[in-house]
Chains A and B, each alone.
Chain A
Amino acid sequence: MNKVPNNRAWWLVLPMLLLVAFSAIVPLMTVVNYSVQDVFDANTRFFTGTEWFVQMLNDPALQAALGRQFAFSLTILVIQVPLGVGIALLMPKRGWRASLVLVLVTLPLLIPWNVVGSIWQIFTRGDIGLMGFSLRQLGYPYNITSNPMDAWVTIVLMDVWHWTSLIALLCYSGLQAIPEAYYQAARIDRASRWAVFRYIQLPKLTNVLVIGVLLRFMHSFMIYAEPFVLTGGGPGSATTFLSQSLAIMATAQFDVGPSAAFSLIYFLIILLVCWVFYTAIMNLQKDRQGGSRHD
C-alpha cells in the first residue's frame, strides 16, 4: 500500500509514545546512570566511566552464562522450527477437529511461565512425577538436581513443550493462506508430496518463519522463570542463563553498577540480533509487494 506523507500522523502516535516512553526511557536512563557510577549509599557515589563495562566483559562467570545462553537459544531453534513446521503440516485444516487441535496446541502458551516451571518440576520429580518416576523404573538414574546433562535436556524439553506451538500456529496460519487452486495445479502436474512442500508451502512459510524465529530467539534469550523454578540454575551453574545471573547480581548482591553495565550489554546483544531480523522481515515484505505489483 502506498502511504500518504502526512506529519500530522504524529498526533495519532503521541499518546502511545508518551506511555511507552514512561515505561521504557525513564528506567533505561536509570540503568545508564548506574552503569557509570559506583554507588555506596544514597549520598556517596563516584563516577567510574567505562570501568564496569570492562569488568563485566571480562567476567568469566558472565562469559560462561552468555555461552550457555547462545547454546540454549540455538538448540531450541534447531529443534522447534522443523518440529513446528511438521506439526503445522499435520494439523487438520477444517471442521471441529481443527478447532479442537488448535485450542489444545495453544494450551502451553497460555500458562504463566512460573507455572510451566512448576508443572515440569512436578512432572520430572523422581518420587511423585510421571516422567522422573518412569525413567527411574526403566533403570536410568534420572536426576535433574545432580546431573547437569539431565537438567539441560529437561530444560530443552520443557522449552520445546512450551513454545513449539508458537511456530506451529504461525506456520498453520501461513498454510491456511495458500489458495486451494495451487494444490489443484500441483495435482494436475502430478507433483510429489515433497515438491508440493518445497515449491508451494515453504515459500509461503518464509515470512511467518522469520517472525517465528525472531520471537523465539527473543523469548529464549530472556528466559528466566522456567529454569528458575525447575532447576534454580543448577546443578552448580549448569543452567544459569543471562537473565538469572543478572537478577542475582542486581537483587541478591545489590551490585547496582556492574549489573547495570551488564544489563546494557545484554540489551545491546538482543538489539543487534533483532535488528538483523527486522531488516530481513522488512526486505521480505518489500520483495513481496514488489513481486505482487509485477504479476
Chain B
Amino acid sequence: MTRPLPSSPDQVNEHAARQAARRRRRQRSAGRRIRRGGLMLAYLVFVLLPIYWLVNMSLQTNNEILGELTLWPQALTFDNYTRIFTDPSWYMGYVNSMTYVVMNMVISMVVALPAAYAFSRYRFIGDKHLFFWLLTNMMAPPAVFLLPYFQLYYTVGLFDTHIAVALAHCLFNIPLAVWILEGFMSSVPKEIDETAFIDGYSFPRFFVQVFIPMIRSGIGVTLFFLFMFSWVELLLARTLTSTEAQPIVSVMTRTSTASGIDWGTLAAAGVLTIVPGIVVVFFVRHHIAKGFALGRT
C-alpha cells in the first residue's frame, strides 16, 4: 500500500503530529499496562507470601525452623510429609474430612436440585418466606448451635460418625446450593421445559435427561462451593466427632505438646489441607467467577 505523497508542508506537519500522538498514546498505554500488572503482582505476592512461608517451613527440620531465619530451606527434608503419610492417626484425619465432605455434597445436591427447580419455575404458597427462611440458615452462626447439635446427635446415636457432620453441614450448604442453582436454572428459558413436556417427557425423565445436562456448569460450580464450605468449616466438625470421624484439624492440635510445638509437622499438615482445594478449583476455573455471583450476572 502506497501512501499519497504529501503535497504541502502543512500536510507534512499534520502527518508528523499524528504520528507523534499515536506514539505517545502507545507509550502511555504501555506504561499503564505495566502499572496495572505491577499492582496485580503486588496483590498476588501478598496472597502467596503467607502460603509460601507455610510451605517453606514444612520442608525444614524443627532445628532449622527454630534456628536462624531462612528464606528457603537450607537442608531440604520431606520427613514432615513422610510422617503424615505413614501414620494412620494422621492420614485418617484427611480420609475422615474427605468422607463427610463428599457425603454432604451428595446429600445437598440430591435435595437441592428439585427444590431449586421449584423456586425457579413455580409460584406456590409461602415460597418467598420459605426462601428467606432458607437463607437465614446460612446466616446462623455455628457457635449458636454447638451445644444443641452435640446433644441432638448424641441422643440419636450419631455422635462421632461421618454422617453426623455431613448432616450438620447441610444446615448452610443446602441453602447455598438452592440459591446458586436457582440462579443458574432461572437463566434457562422456560420454553425448553414446555417443549419437552409437549414432546411427551415425564417430569423425572425431563429433569434427568434434558434439564440437568443444560445446567451442567451450574452444577459443577455448586459442587465446588459445597466442597469449599464443608471443607473449611471445622467448628461443628470438631464438636460432633471424637476419635472415629475426627477431621484433620483436630488431629493437627496434637502437634503442640508439653515439649513445645512441632512446627514442621504442623506446617506440612497445613499444606496438605490446601491441596484438595487447588485440585477442585482447577476443574471449575472457567465457571467459578459466575458461580461466585451465585449464577446471577
Contact = CB atoms under 8 A, between A and B. Distances in A.
> Is chain B found bound to chain A in the same assembly?
yes
Interface of A: 1, 3-10, 12-13, 15-17, 19-20, 22-24, 26-28, 30-31, 86-87, 90-92, 99, 101-115, 118-120, 122-123, 127-131, 133, 161, 165-166, 169-170, 172-174, 176-177, 204, 207-208, 211, 218, 221-222, 224-225, 242-244, 246-247, 250-251, 256, 259-260, 263, 266-267, 270-271, 274-275, 278, 285
Contacts of A112: 231-234, 248-249, 273
Contacts of A278: 132, 135
Given A13-B114, A120-B50, A161-B50, 7 more contacts: A3-B121, A13-B130, A90-B43, A101-B44, A109-B228, A122-B267, A173-B291
A118 B297 contact: no
A211 B296 contact: yes
Nearest to B190: A1
A145 to B, nearest CB: 14
Contact of A6 (B123, B130, B138, B291): B123
10 contacts: A1-B190, A13-B114, A101-B44, A110-B231, A113-B233, A115-B252, A120-B50, A127-B69, A222-B139, A224-B142
A128 B274 CA distance: 21
A107 B49 CA distance: 12
Given A19-B174, A23-B171, A211-B296, A243 B274 contact: no
A110 B272 CA distance: 12
Contacts, number: 278
Interface stretch (B10-18, B84-92, B282-290): B282-290
B75 interface: no
Contact of A247 (B115, B146, B296): B146
B289 A169 contact: yes
B9 to A, nearest CB: 29
A19 B234 contact: no
Contact of A173 (B122, B127, B168, B297): B297
Given A17-B130, A30-B148, A128-B69, A5 B124 contact: yes
B139 A270 contact: yes
Nearest to A108: B47
B160 to A, nearest CB: 17
B270 A119 contact: yes
A19 B47 contact: no
A8 to B, nearest CB: 8
For B69, B123, B186, B297, the residue with the greatest tally of chain A CB atoms inside 10 Å of its CB is B297
B148 A27 contact: yes
A161 B44 CA distance: 10
A5 B123 contact: yes
B274 to A, nearest CB: 5
Nearest to B266: A118
B244 to A, nearest CB: 20
Contact of A16 (B43, B51, B111, B142): B111
Contacts of A218: 138-139
Contact of B69 (A102, A133, A170): A133
B267 to A, nearest CB: 7
A83 B26 CA distance: 28
Contacts of B286: 99
A99 B285 CA distance: 7
Contacts of A23: 137, 167-168, 170-171
